[in-house]
Structure 1
Amino acid sequence: MSFLWKSSNGGTTEKTLTLEEQQEKQINEVRKQLEEPSSLAIQGFLSDASILRFLRARNWNVQKSSKMLKSAVKWRAAYKPEMISWEEIALEAETGKIYRADYKDKLGRTVLVLRPGLENTTSGKEQIKYLVYSLEKAIMNLTDDQEKMVWMIDFQGWTMGSTPLKVTRETVSVLQDCYPERLGLAILYNPPRLFESFYKIVKPFLDHETSKKVKFVYSNDKESQKIMAEVFDMDKLDSAFGGRNLATFEYSSYAEQMKEDDKKMQSNDAGSDASSEASFYSGTDSPKHEDGEHGAMKKACAT
């Protein structure tokens, strides 16, 4: 990328910026359009790495990226996702419908397992809250060299009633608008034929980049099964997804793990750019988390 610069003799010279300089320039342009952070949580969220993700999500358009980021900041300030605790969503987690796997993919990305067929509640508001909680904890557990995660969606037991369209649309909105560039890959494992019709309804809500990350995988299709071997160590992958790991979700041990994650998030034990959405606090700096602050999101992070 080239820019014209005024020289000391009044003329202009052309300077070619390096990729790093280009990105720094655009980050600064976005920052100029943002208000001062209203809390430590928002300050932690507005890292350079976070702004870069919003820029990538809007194809490096500063105006569109700024608008998107402002909406995300407004949502985080009201929803306070980093303050959701295990006790608030423990009921949602009982069946293992969403959990963080105890293994990563070959690139070191955190893996979130989703089993919509195990839906155990009817409140869309609480279901979205648990999704947000799971996203925050997945981000917190990313390694320093990774900023994206993998979603593994197991369709065993799924019916059209398992995922109401309204909740599905909110899920897409939260992921794309509030956590842009966090999804590296979404594997839809053994979706029934009925889901193909459902996906045709949902797909228009996905942006182009997100839809490219969606892969359909079937256990009886050798070609699609190759995707699993390419992405995962089969010795670590759940047997439910064709791997050789026989371990299954165990609620009580997972609850203890999540409570420990809550403590880490509160104690400011980690704070890398890779986990910038997961803000950390200590002592009296931690804002109080009230249930009433988690209002229903008709269109989360609307742009």
Structure 2
Amino acid sequence: MSYLLESRSEPTMQKQYVSLEEQQEKINEVRELLGDLPTEMPGFLSDSTIRRFLHARNWSSVQATKTLKEAVKWRRQYKPENIRWEDISEKENEVKRAYIPDYLDNNGRTVLVGRPSLKSVTSEKEQIKQLVYNLENLTMNSGNAPENVVWVIDFRGWTLSSTPLAMTRQSMNIIQNYYPGLVSVVILCNPPKIFQSFWKIINYFIEPGMKEKVKFVYANNSESLRIMADMFDLDKLESEFGGRNTSGIDIVEYSARMQRRDRIRGGLEDENGNASTSLP
């Protein structure tokens, strides 16, 4: 396997260029197709969300509307906006498996770190809840720029039992159908040989557009390290990904940061930490 691979998928339809004026026209079209739904979920069905769904569906108003309606149906039942830091079970262990670091990549994109080889101590239901909680937080930084997340996954020590197939499939379904257009790049770091068999299986339920975002990177290859150096500040990037940061995740600091983000998501503070003027 070479140092950096695109997944072996059929090429997808080339993304069309859409001007800002045309984007707004598309957003307005989707709003009309959605009917009363934007009134029901104004926080979710914002222009930035609709733009992200349109971008993921190659600016097809019909396809974006269909996906948004499916997402609305799921959100009514799951209520992801209500998940808070306090709802995450076994925080210290689970955060080590998946967390949002306090640095961005060199293009200003939010980073999500995953370590599936670390054994979870919670149920699959709780793991999915944490995934959704992270995705909700990642949408906070997406703004008007779709594909604003870099997902870096450490596969050192990974085995077939590390990632149950059913949960992987459920996770990809949530990411692709309820949070489309969020992830820009997926970097798979040091997957072992046995991962190739797993990859062939999960390819069947990964959308072609998502497959094209997947990169395989290996720590024993100098060119891989150069790629990571181009993408990240190595003083901030974790050492297992080729960076110089060996401090690890500080659960106390991380807890405070996520609680702060919860308050912002709940409308209790603005992004500068001030109390919302809309509060009574």
Helix, strand or coil: the match of 1:224?
helix
Which residue in 1 is equivalent to 2:11? none
Which residue in 2 is equivalent to 1:82? 81
Which residue in 1 is equivalent to 2:52? 53
1:163-204 per-residue CA deviation (whole Å, 9 max, x = no partner) reads 101110111111111111100111111111111110111112
- 2:190 pairs with 1:197: no
Amino acid at match of 1:253: E
Helix, strand or coil: the match of 1:185?
strand
Distance 2:127 2:89 in 1: 11
The answer on whether the counterparts of 2:137 and 2:261 sit within 8 Å (CA) in structure 1 is: yes
CA 245–143 in structure 1, closer or farther in 2 if over 3 Å, else same:
farther
- 2:67 pairs with 1:68: yes
Helix, strand or coil: the match of 2:266?
helix
- 2:91 pairs with 1:97: no
Distance 2:279 2:73 in 1: 24
Q: Which ranges in structure 1 are unaligned for 5 or more consecutive residues?
A: 1-17, 272-279, 285-303
Which residue in 1 is equivalent to 2:227? 227
CA 141–206 in structure 1, closer or farther in 2 if over 3 Å, else same:
same
Task: Please give the TM-score of this superposition, normalised by the length of structure 1.
Answer: 0.78
Which is worse superposed, 57-66 or 228-237? 57-66
- Structure 1 residue 258, shift from structure 2 partner: 1.6
Helix, strand or coil: the match of 1:152?
strand
1:205-229 per-residue CA deviation (whole Å, 9 max, x = no partner) reads 1112211111100000122222201
Which is worse superposed, 155-164 or 179-188? 155-164
Distance 2:265 2:48 in 1: 19
Distance 1:144 1:269 in 2: 21
Larger relative strand fraction: 1
Amino acid at match of 1:81: P
Which residue in 2 is equivalent to 1:133? 133
CA 83–30 in structure 1, closer or farther in 2 if over 3 Å, else same:
same
- Structure 1 residue 145, shift from structure 2 partner: 6.0
- 2:122 pairs with 1:114: no
The answer on whether the counterparts of 1:154 and 1:189 sit within 8 Å (CA) in structure 2 is: yes
Which residue in 1 is equivalent to 2:43? 44
Distance 2:262 2:33 in 1: 33
Q: Percent identity?
A: 47
- Structure 1 residue 143, shift from structure 2 partner: 6.9
Helix, strand or coil: the match of 1:267?
coil
CA 133–63 in structure 1, closer or farther in 2 if over 3 Å, else same:
same
Task: Please give the TM-score of this superposition, normalised by the length of structure 2.
Answer: 0.84
Amino acid at match of 2:50: I
Amino acid at match of 1:262: D
CA 142–269 in structure 1, closer or farther in 2 if over 3 Å, else same:
farther
Helix, strand or coil: the match of 1:116?
coil
Alignment map for 1:237-252 (pairs within 5 Å): 237-252=237-252
- Structure 1 residue 146, shift from structure 2 partner: 7.0
The answer on whether the counterparts of 2:31 and 2:38 sit within 8 Å (CA) in structure 1 is: no
CA 219–203 in structure 1, closer or farther in 2 if over 3 Å, else same:
same
CA 98–205 in structure 1, closer or farther in 2 if over 3 Å, else same:
same
The answer on whether the counterparts of 2:89 and 2:126 sit within 8 Å (CA) in structure 1 is: no
The answer on whether the counterparts of 1:110 and 1:149 sit within 8 Å (CA) in structure 2 is: yes
Helix, strand or coil: the match of 1:130?
helix
Helix, strand or coil: the match of 1:117?
coil
Distance 1:266 1:223 in 2: 43
Amino acid at match of 1:116: P
CA 253–22 in structure 1, closer or farther in 2 if over 3 Å, else same:
closer
The answer on whether the counterparts of 1:238 and 1:244 sit within 8 Å (CA) in structure 2 is: yes
Which residue in 2 is equivalent to 1:211? 211
- Structure 1 residue 147, shift from structure 2 partner: 5.5
Helix, strand or coil: the match of 2:194?
helix
- Structure 1 residue 28, shift from structure 2 partner: 1.8
Distance 2:144 2:19 in 1: 21
